Amino acid sequence: MKTIKCMMDHLYWADGRILDALEESGTKNKELLKLVRHVAVAERVWLSRLQGKGSAQYSLWEDAEDLTAIRTMFEENAEQYRVYIEGLEESELDEMVDYANQSGVPFRTSVRDLLLQVLLHGQYHRGQINRALRMESAEPVQVDYITFARL
């Protein structure tokens, strides 16, 4: 649990840093804003599944223009994940979760693997966002785990 908690703390930190970089860049790139919104919504989708709720109400790929609304979503996600993780016992990490993906296809996956999906999915897309910022001649932001660990 210690490792997962630490990695989740990194996720909250990295989400905030990438939002700061986007705000500082002043980007109006709709695809880039759609991508950061996608990360926030995906975090929410996986949390809903972990909580035994459906996720069909969430649309993973919608246009976004308001970084303030996206930041609020990330902050709400972080608070809800903190509550979820604090209530989670080590033994529950291997419990299986039944859920359906956004297309309605059923799956069964362990809590551990769902949490790892959340952690790795966001990191992948933060890398894409940083690359796009660099291509726009904006400053990318360091979001590597080791940078977080050194704080």
Query: 31-49: buried (b, 16+ CB within 10 Å) or exposed (e) per residue?
Result: ebbebbbbbbbbbbbbbbb
**Cα–Cα distance for residue pair 47/52, rounded to 1 Å:** 9
Q: Is 10 annotated as a binding residue?
A: no
Alpha carbon dihedral 79, 81, 83, 89, in 10-degree steps, equals: -160
Residues marked as binding for a divalent metal cation?
38, 121, 125
Binding positions are 38, 121, 125
